[in-house]
Chain A
Amino acid sequence: MKKTVFFGALAATTLVAGLAGAATLDDVKARGELICGSNTGLTGFGAPDASGNWAGFDVDLCRAIAAVVLGDATKVKFVPTTGETRFTALQSGEVDVLVRNSTWTYSRDSELALDFVAVNYYDGQGFMVKKDLGVSSAKELDGATVCIQTGTTTELNLADFFKQNNISYQPVTVADDSEAQRQYLAGACDAYTTDASGLAASRATMPDAENHIILPEIISKEPLGPVVRHGDSQWGDVVRWTFYAMLIAEEKGVTSANVEEVLASTTDEEVKRLLGASGDMGAKMGLDNDAFKRAIAAVGNYGEVFSRNIGEGTTINLARGLNALWTQGGLQYAPPLR
């Protein structure tokens, strides 16, 4: 009973906090700075470098939003949030948007009163094993010891997968990624499981990367994307269409390098609308008409951001896979800009 009252009160305060921050777009404009909830440090996705400048795949989306809203991609303050504090930081208005490898799930969308506005990275849980284990499929891992981070959805996915395939495993629980990597390399477990992007990053930095393989099975869906507070559709639209603008730019071959050139020469009506040369696309959302152009000029299109931070050619060396454009067999698909 008491518990119910407490949670009721908490929910009410949440609602109040949510309502109070309803016009996030105006708040951000008035403040002159976007506050972006980021990771405390995840290779390739978001981390500060030696001089404290944030860089990464998620970080670039924050910068694009800042370029769209404020006209300056550097006017972002990054607030590191942990797995425990991230959603509360968003709900309480401490951050304007959360771009922090958060999986879009039903309960987060409904119960936590959050809105996932897009999926900027389709991830999934995979396995890494040593080559000399002689395993080529996760289904052959019967009786294996598996290193797994505690308290994450990956733990539940792992249990589901082994149960479904009627095989057994021995979990070795670890606190974080570096611990997992260490245990795995020290031979404490046969297999190491986490999101496939994380596996790739770990493998890339191992002293003997060629002795480890990532198994083909992806056992879960992990759509990661930017999150905003529930009930602020205008702000949600801004974040969503900033991301879609980057996708459309890739689809149409507009890059940070050639954006001016394309604007001058293009005959494609959608590109004109994207870059603010025709239609009042920006103004419809309370922005300038060349808002998206600024974002593309500042951070580039989706493909550029991908290849700069995590794509093939970087040390992490992730293939586009599901994150290729729909025209190239992937899932990244932006609705028409009209």
Chain B
Amino acid sequence: MSETHAQTVSFVRDTMLPPTPPPMGERGAVKWMRENLFSTPLNVALTLLGLLSIYALISAALPWWLNSVWVAESLSECREIVAASAGEGATGACWAMIRERWHQFLFGFYPPAEWWRPILALGLLLAALAPVLFAGQKRNLTVVLGAVAIYLLVTLSLAATPGTAFGLAMVLILGMLGLAQVQPGKLLWFTVLYPALCFWLLWGGSIWSPIVAMAGFGVLYAVFRLASPFIGLAPAAGAGVVAAVLWWLYIDIPVVNALQIAMPFGLQSINSDQFGGFLLAIVIGVTGITFSLPIGILLALGRQSDMLIVKTLSVGFIEFVRGVPLITLLFTASLLLQYFLPPGTNFDIILRVIILVTFFAAAYLAEVIRGGLAALPRGQYEAADALGLDYWRAQRLIILPQALKVSIPAIVSTFIGLFKDTTLVAFVGLMDPLKGVTQIVRADIDWKGIYWEPYIFVGAIFFIICFGMSRYSMYLEQKLKTDHR
């Protein structure tokens, strides 16, 4: 056979044909559509129905968006402009309302000359969160702090910040940026000090009140350190707490007054009733989130404890708080507490609301974390015991890192829920962005009858914040992923 080869065959292909593309019906968008949208008669019908409803939605809403009016004095003027540009009967969004009232949605009644304070507080909040969120990661820290520095540079100059404050803020943030390069771990100290700084920035008053209040924690620590060699850890902690409470109750105010007289320095004080809009929502939300997590962890551990009283109290608290709606707790904060406190006590309404919102979130978190604890195999607890770790060390080093990691999605869900629930404070007369401020804007005869615009504006900002939280939780899950599923 082999010798006939070259002579008998007239043509031998020595190169392969280039592969032809699959037929039109079997590739690209057409294939995808045929497989996914039109595979069965039912799917064809559903697809057509879906397209039809999308078309109906867009054809109804698109002119409204396209006819948006940005500059007008009132809703009726908006309507005139829309009628003039798009003809009688056309509808159009009236964003002029947002242009006119955006500051109330963001700051409530916070005096315009002091807007730099909440702006600075928000920037520093991100700076204070960064060391917690991205522990020790130089690159991420630099990115976040750099972004904060740019944000502060732009917004603070827009808000006509007094020169000294501007300078101090920039020095602070650049200093942190520098520290992040050298010793990122040390940045946590700023996080620890941040609550006092934030309180002072937002509410103003003498600088000494937050400093002296923070000194209470110093007292706690000092007493704890001094007493623990003699009376043991737990009693020393108790003594420290007692000493700190005594400090806050009796020594705090005279010391603040004395210092204020000796070295007067402070910011104009702002009353709680001037807070509103997203400033209020973020203050309540962030404080609630920050304090509910540690309380929730303690409650979850308490619920699993063998100590009868601790267990009963934890279970009682969790079940009571989870058993009543948040609105009930808010009404308690706003109405009932007034009856029980001595007349004339001026217990700040925002503070009352924050405390009860924190309790509410803590009870939910406790159950979420208990779920995480329950997911750990018994062997983990036994291994901790076998290593000879005491209870707190075992929790801190072995149990909680695993339990919290498992619970991240649920914890973040609770946080997002808590943040959105802050709008419920409208029912106790606080100016939340969604109902409180919107109602004020609508009560103005110029804007009465405006409907979608405030909701869309507020909804968009809420979405950005909640979506951010959700993305961070996904990042954290990826980062902490150690299993090989």
User: What is A's interface to B at a CB cutoff of 8 Å?
Assistant: 10, 13-14, 16-17, 20-21, 39-44, 46-52, 77, 79-82, 84-85, 88-89, 92-94, 176-178, 181-182, 201-202, 204-207, 314-316
Whether A204 lies near B439 (C-beta < 8 A) is: no
**Given known A-B contacts A17-B339, A48-B109, A182-B451, A316 and B445 have beta carbons under 8 A apart:** yes
Q: Name the one of A16, A40, A89, A314 contacting B439, with C-beta atoms under 8 angstroms.
A: A40
Considering the chains assembled together, what is the distance between the CA atoms of A164 and B428 in angstroms? Answer: 37
Query: Which residues does chain A contribute within 8 Å of B273, judged by CB atoms?
Result: 77, 79
**Given known A-B contacts A40-B439, A43-B444, A205-B75, A84 and B427 have beta carbons under 8 A apart:** yes
Whether A92 lies near B449 (C-beta < 8 A) is: no
Interface band, chain B: 35 or more
Whether B335 lies near A21 (C-beta < 8 A) is: no
Closest to A316 in B: B445
User: What string of 1s and 0s marks CB contacts (under 8 Å) between B7-39 and chain A?
Assistant: 000000000000000000000000000000000
- Specify which of B335, B442, B448, B451 lies most central, judged by the most chain A CB atoms within 10 Å of its CB: B448
What would 12 A/B residue contacts be, using CB atoms closer than 8 Å? A17-B343, A20-B343, A50-B444, A80-B429, A85-B334, A85-B335, A85-B428, A89-B429, A178-B449, A205-B445, A205-B449, A316-B445
Q: Name the one of A14, A89, A178 contacting B442, with C-beta atoms under 8 angstroms.
A: A178
Interface residues of B in 295-342 (CB under 8 A from A): 331, 334-335, 338-340
Q: Name the one of B344, B427, B428, B440 contacting A48, with C-beta atoms under 8 angstroms.
A: B440
Closest A-B pairs by Cβ, 7 of them: A41-B443, A47-B443, A92-B338, A20-B343, A52-B109, A205-B448, A205-B449
Whether B448 lies near A202 (C-beta < 8 A) is: yes
**Given known A-B contacts A41-B443, A48-B440, A88-B335, A82 and B343 have beta carbons under 8 A apart:** no
Nearest CB in chain B: distance from A306 CB, A: 15
**Given known A-B contacts A13-B339, A88-B335, A79 and B429 have beta carbons under 8 A apart:** yes
Nearest CB in chain B: distance from A170 CB, A: 23
Whether B448 lies near A88 (C-beta < 8 A) is: no
Q: Is B436 an interface residue (CB 8 A)?
A: yes
Whether A205 lies near B343 (C-beta < 8 A) is: no
Q: Is B101 an interface residue (CB 8 A)?
A: yes
Considering the chains assembled together, what is the distance between the CA atoms of A320 and B428 in angstroms? Answer: 34
User: What string of 1s and 0s marks CB contacts (under 8 Å) between B428-466 and chain A?
Assistant: 110100001001111111001111000000000000000
Nearest CB in chain A: distance from B73 CB, A: 11
Closest to B452 in A: A182
Nearest CB in chain A: distance from B268 CB, A: 15
Considering the chains assembled together, what is the distance between the CA atoms of A314 and B340 in angstroms? Answer: 45
Whether A201 lies near B436 (C-beta < 8 A) is: no
Whether B339 lies near A85 (C-beta < 8 A) is: no
Query: Which residues does chain A contribute within 8 Å of B344, judged by CB atoms?
Result: 20, 93
Query: Which residues does chain A contribute within 8 Å of B451, judged by CB atoms?
Result: 178, 182
Whether B445 lies near A10 (C-beta < 8 A) is: no
Query: Which residues does chain B contribute within 8 Å of A82, judged by CB atoms?
Result: 426-429
Considering the chains assembled together, what is the distance between the CA atoms of A39 and B451 in angstroms? Answer: 20
Whether B440 lies near A13 (C-beta < 8 A) is: no
Q: Name the one of B112, B431, B445 contacting A80, with C-beta atoms under 8 angstroms.
A: B431
